């Protein structure tokens, strides 16, 4: 009886996570609905938490040979969601003035223009630019700290994911 209840509870938790993630993606790709980056992070984190608790309840009452499989699937889904969030926040987000690039309506000319004007692929070029501007007094200290710490915090989950994937 306890196995059935925990199975039903884990299914409910997974379904709530799926509905939250569906809502996230409907907001993410709809130009009429806009959420702040904090709102998007909260949505993804809540979806991941429901997945986590669903997996936790499920793994307590399944065979040991399936526990690792459930864990690997959950971690793989979390990694994919992290990559999606990271790419949308850093490359395509209008909230951070990254242009009006709608990934669903792109063409090759618009993409080429976006790639050449919106970001760089030279390692540390932006960081050295911020350091130079900060030292010369061209930018406020909070902009420097916000960008440098923001990049560090945004990439921290890689330290979690890479060893276990």
pLDDT of 19 > 90? The answer is yes
Q: Which of 76, 104, 132 is the last residue of a domain?
A: 104
Q: Are residues 96 and 59 in the same domain?
A: yes
Q: Are residues 149 and 95 in the same domain?
A: no
**Residue 7 is part of which domain span?**
2-104
Q: Are residues 97 and 129 in the same domain?
A: no
pLDDT of 15 > 90? The answer is yes
Note the pLDDT of residue 107: 75
Q: Are residues 18 and 87 in the same domain?
A: yes
Q: Are residues 99 and 125 in the same domain?
A: no
How buried is residue 54: exposed, middle or buried, by Cβ count under 10 Å (0-12/13-18/19+)? buried
Q: Are 7 and 61 in contact (CB under 8 A)?
A: yes
Among residues 117, 116, 151, 114, the alpha carbon closest in space to that of 131 is found at 151
Q: What is the pLDDT averaged over residues 64-72?
A: 85
- Examine residue 109 and state whether it is found in any structural domain, yes or no: no
CA-CA distance, 56 to 58, in Å (whole number)?
5
- Examine residue 114 and state whether it is found in any structural domain, yes or no: no
Please indicate whether residue 67 or residue 9 has the higher confidence score (pLDDT). Answer: 9
Average pLDDT, the chain: 82
- Examine residue 110 and state whether it is found in any structural domain, yes or no: no
Note the pLDDT of residue 95: 62
How buried is residue 51: exposed, middle or buried, by Cβ count under 10 Å (0-12/13-18/19+)? buried
Binning pLDDT at 50, 70 and 90, where does residue 101 land?
low
CA-CA distance, 132 to 127, in Å (whole number)?
9
Residue 124: left (phi > 0), alpha (psi -120 to 50), or beta? left
Q: What is the pLDDT averaged over residues 39-66?
A: 86
Note the pLDDT of residue 99: 53
pLDDT of 97 > 60? The answer is no
pLDDT of 22 > 70? The answer is yes
CA-CA distance, 53 to 51, in Å (whole number)?
6
Q: Which of 61, 80, 104 is the last residue of a domain?
A: 104
Note the pLDDT of residue 25: 83
Cα torsion at 115, 90, 87, 156 (round to 10°)? 140
What's this model's pTM, rounded to 2 decimal places? 0.69
Structural domains in the chain (count): 2
User: Helix 2-28 vs helix 37-60: angle between axes, to the nearest 10 degrees?
Assistant: 160
Instruction: Give start and end residues of each alpha helix (H) in 29-156.
Output: 37-60, 64-90, 108-118, 125-136, 141-155
pLDDT of 45 > 70? The answer is yes
Residue 50, both tokens: 């429901």
């Amino acid at each position: 009886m306890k196995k059935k209840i925990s199975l039903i509870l884990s299914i409910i938790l997974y379904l709530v996570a799926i509905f939250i993630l569906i809502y996230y993606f409907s907001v993410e790709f709809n130009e009429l609905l806009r959420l702040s980056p904090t709102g998007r992070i909260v949505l993804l984190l809540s979806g991941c938490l429901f997945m986590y608790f669903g997996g936790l309840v499920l793994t307590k009452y399944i065979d040991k040979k399936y526990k690792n499989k459930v864990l690997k699937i959950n971690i793989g889904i979390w990694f994919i969601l992290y990559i999606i969030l990271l790419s949308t926040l850093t490359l395509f987000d209008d909230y951070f003035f990254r242009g009006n690039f709608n990934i669903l309506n792109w063409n090759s000319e618009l993409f080429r223009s976006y790639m050449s004007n919106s970001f760089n692929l030279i390692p540390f070029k932006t960081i050295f630019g911020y350091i130079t501007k900060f030292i010369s007094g061209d930018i406020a200290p909070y902009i420097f700290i916000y960008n440098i710490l923001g990049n560090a915090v945004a990439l921290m989950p890689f330290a979690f994911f890479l060893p276990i994937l």
